[in-house]
Structure 1
Amino acid sequence: SSLDNKCEHFPIDNAHANASSTDLVEFNSSVSLSCSASGISLSFLWLNSSSEVTQSDRVKFTDGGANLTIVNVTRNDQGPFRCLVSNPVSNDASEPVNLSISYGPENVNLSINVSKEYYVEGSNISLSCSAVSRPAAQFYWLLNGDNMTDTGPELKLVNIQMSQSGNYSCQAFNNKTLRYETSQLTARISGAAVTSSTNLTIEGNSVNLTCDAAAGSNLTRLWRKDDSDLILTDNMALNEESRVLSFKSLSKTDSGKYSCEISNPVSNDRVQYIMIVNYGPENVQIDGPSKIDFGKTLTLTCSAESEPSASYTWTLNGTEIHNSSVFTKVITGLSYSGNYTCQAMNNITERRSSAVHQVTVTGNKIPLIASIHQLSSANVFKVFQIKMLTDGNSTLTIVNVTRYDLGPFMCVFNPVSNGNSDALNFAISYGPDNMALTVNGNNSTSFSVGSNLTMLCSAQSNPPALLQWAVRGELVNTTGPLLELFSVSEDQSGPYSCLAFNNHTNMNSTITTNIMISSGFVCILTSTSIPYLSICSQLHPHFALFTQIQVTDEGANLTIVNVTRFDQGPFSCNVSNPVSNGASEPVTLSINYGPENINLTVNVAKEYYVEGSNISLSCSAVSRPAAQFYWLLNRDNLNDTGPELKLMNIQMSQSGNYSCQAFNNKTLRNETSQSSAVTVLERISGAAVTSSNRPIEEKSVNLTCDAAAGSISISISRLWKKNDLNLILADNMALYEENRVLSFKSLNKTDNGKYSCEISNPSLYLPLKMMYGPENVQIQGQSKIDFGKTLTLTCSAESEPSASYTWTLNGTEIHNSSVFTKVITGLSDSGNYTCQAMNKITERTLSAVYYSPFLRKPSQPISLFSWLHRWNCNCVFGRRWSSCWGYSVLYL
């Protein structure tokens, strides 16, 4: 059987490989190789040089591997290819088959023997052109895009003249592949610049720095920071071949001087951009003492890490007191104890941060001098805010005393050993004021005939006021606080007045109430059957009785819906029939109402109060039973209750809007009065002019002239100036709040200037820089342009700050700067050039269009290559010609 097996196989002989074609074009041609040999049970293996050929998208095997097909050959498919044939008893190899694959041209390179920016007339210049190509490329030369008569890889310019200046390029052509490629002439770099994607670089935000040149080609870029090679951190990345340096999330350490060096084989340029990262405020700190003696000067200094520098606002126990980094104040009272808060604000990042510093005012270091104290009823000493101390503090002068300056006063010679003078009390005459008038113990004004009335009058006065009564404006013989009327009748209705007179102050005051006395019954006939039933009530004559009453059960039940204060009665029920009648005993209702008509008054109303003043506020309301009163400051509840609030020795921290709230514990209703502003001020300090927002053209802005801390003298005046001249109001200006606010309705660029405000002391000024535009966008450039020439278009706009510019050609973005330059290489450069100007502050955009420049006919023919031969065509603008270009149509 071993012999039989050998008989089935024969040795292989005459292995032979054959190609369908050996002259091929890269990417365009396909080839089939076939292998044959004598023998049976044949296996085939293909080799390209020494490497085994494997199947892929381009490589296919058929007929058991005898045939090899390669689609879209490349230059790596040249071979030599060999076919290995084998069976169990022998093997054989074909002769190698080589393929000739044409490719290129590509990587066309143009070089100059000696590169200079300028050449002297009469110089000799040699330009060389090379390309990767098989077979070797044919070279043609062009000047400013126009064909020259010179051919070959080298162009020699001997005794060169000015007329030969221009852009030289070479074109390589492969007569096998029928392809060509033109060199990219390396232009000198010009107009290099580094631009930022944003004008405001803020910590945590992203930004791109772009390194570009207005002219130049074959560019390489090298970035530096602070004159050292840039080392990329985690938040940096280089994109677009190092053209763009991107910061993902800025940090303060990214601030610095960034430079970009742009170079190519013929020139280089370096430009820089200083980037300041705005951050903060952070790490806010307050330096100063935590304890301070009376009479000493407190100095607190606030600092913060911030770019740009932060602005500072001080508050004491929640009340704003100062606006600068350093706060100084002579300590004159315990009210200066508390939490001093410094808030730092960065106007660019719009971020805020605060720190709190606690200061305690102490008396441990009070010198041994006389000081003035006021003794409270609990015999506890408390500091009294003096008006004037003279003669070494031994003389106390109180200007415009009030009823609250009664004392007792004493002089403390030594607070340690209790060296005190005897207490001194003052008798201060005041009033009459705060008068009140009640009838039968409440505020009722409507009564029925036959009622007894007791009127009680009171007034705050020292000595007690003399009281006298008047009815309908006529004095009556009754004096004193009480007026009694018995079994009143209708003709006693009218206004009743109580007149108070203080024979020490020679002041008087009057209070009046209008009494209405009604007679008769208002009756409802409830039935026409026998017996008759009617219900009668003595009511206010203006009361619409019938709209609120429901009578049921033949008149036996009376229901009053939504009672009012006029439904008090007395009510009686009259029952009758044809032979008799009867009336019930009267029923009187006690109806609770209010509070309403709440009124808040100040004893002496002023626009400003000097620190240390005494103020009395009174609150009244119509209510039954009498309302309970609560007091509020800036809508926050105070601990004070009752109809009167006394503010003694008032301080700046007590400034605000005071209001009172009346509460009826029967109706469970409350009502709050209108607020009354109490402003406690010192003399002018830290005056400033502030702007409500960043001034932008056509938007509104307010300039406010204020003193940041301390009180303004009660009679103040403000005078506005512009550029050191008295301000003349334009149509878009107005002054409000007694010249405190200068308001611009719609800003325009002529409003730029230095504005000053004089508040009875040296002037303050604020430069006002208007943000406007863009407007009046214009494009300047050539009206017609030749092929190969450089088109230069310049875009301008009126804008503050300067606008950024974006160029588009026929809707496609092509450039980002005010000047656009381009060497015209074809008709595709024709079209509508649009320049869009954008102001990143006003967020407005405006565009202008530069219509297609006329492309003039070139002086030399333009060469086009087709599959079969070379075309020479002249361009005629306005016509549409077509020519064969491979398998496509070219329109000119």
Structure 2
Amino acid sequence: MSVGETGVAMLMSVRMAPPLPLMFLILIHGVSSAEWGVSYRLSHICALKDSSVIMSCTYTYPTGYEIRKVFWTKNPVHGEEPPDLSEDPEYSQRLQYLGDEQKNCTIRLSHVTQKDSHMYCFRFTTNVTDGKWKGYPGVTLTVTDLQVESSETVTEGDSVRLTCKSSCALTDRATFIWYRNSQPLTERRDRNNQLLLQSVRREDAGRYSCALQEHTYISPAAQLNVTYPPKNVSVSISPSGEIVEGDSVTLICSSDSNPPAEISWFKGGMIVGSGRIYSISNISSDHSGEYKCKSKNKHGEKYSETVTLNVMYPPRNVSVLINGPAEIVEGDSVTLICSSDSNPPALNFSWFKENQSSSVGSGQSFSAQQSGRFYCEAHNQHGSQRSDAVSVTVKGRLVILYISIGVVSGASVIITVLLILRSRGKRIKDNLETQC
């Protein structure tokens, strides 16, 4: 039985026994529990994980006693001798006794974790067999971590408040520090454990964590998701160079939005597809035109600028039109018109007369018997095509007076080449040939 327990028993005996002389009561008081005790500055401590905790205390004992041993223990059990924490491997490297063997019993416990959440008591013994004392109840330590609490999703332009929470009220006065994506927010310190973001921007999205100034522990990160309507909508074409009929072409719509946007494709004012990628295989001239995409989510929509798809192709639909009589006599003239659809425009044209190997050029002449069938051939860098032949009957001498080229712009480019033929008499032959 300890001195404290002995003192209680003696007092009970005094109450039950007949009155004693005053002198005896004074002697009993000299060894009562009033001179034994342990006083803790704080009975409850809330500490941050991985921090150091100081448990301050003092103790008293009667004059004349000598201290033999001082130590701290945890979760004492009535009737059992408490263990010395300094001999426990889990505490021996982290527990430092800062007191003395007279009256100060303060300790420091470093790198605390949630497993250190217990009641801790100071114990001392003296040179007297029953001169032992246990400071019960002791200091209740609760070790907490930090958690960021916030709305997971906020819309651009709104305000949001983030709170750095702990499971108990921290004993030490705390200054909070905030991090976004592991980077400290510049000069962002808040004593009331809250971070207010006003008029949130999409750049504010990220993983937020908090800590206490002068502490190494940082909370787990909480994701803040900022939603916003489509921005920066644009279209790119692949391949980016010249597109020739028969190629495969891909149009890609880029859009910055949260949540991801739905994409629609337009050619002129007509919808032609959906999805971020619009592919055209075996492209033809019919696919030429202006394209744009629309990006849309629940917060809004936006169109891209238009892009022009310009498909190159060789001459086609080459034909000859007779402007004038198919049978010409002396003094008459007829114009043969060669038309071609191509991209880029065919600027190289050749005129031929059937059964004649060379082309008909300016300044050439034919005899009166050289009626025949004429055709043209159009060329660009992607190919060439010949027209069907048309018949011209000549009564007289035929000369080529003029070859001209005209360009008509529209959905496709039409090249028109004029071949002017004229039949004339011998008396003006020399003059006409000179003019030609």
TM-score range, shorter chain: 0.3 to 0.5
After TM superposition, the score normalised by the length of structure 2 is: 0.41
More helix per residue: 1 or 2? 2
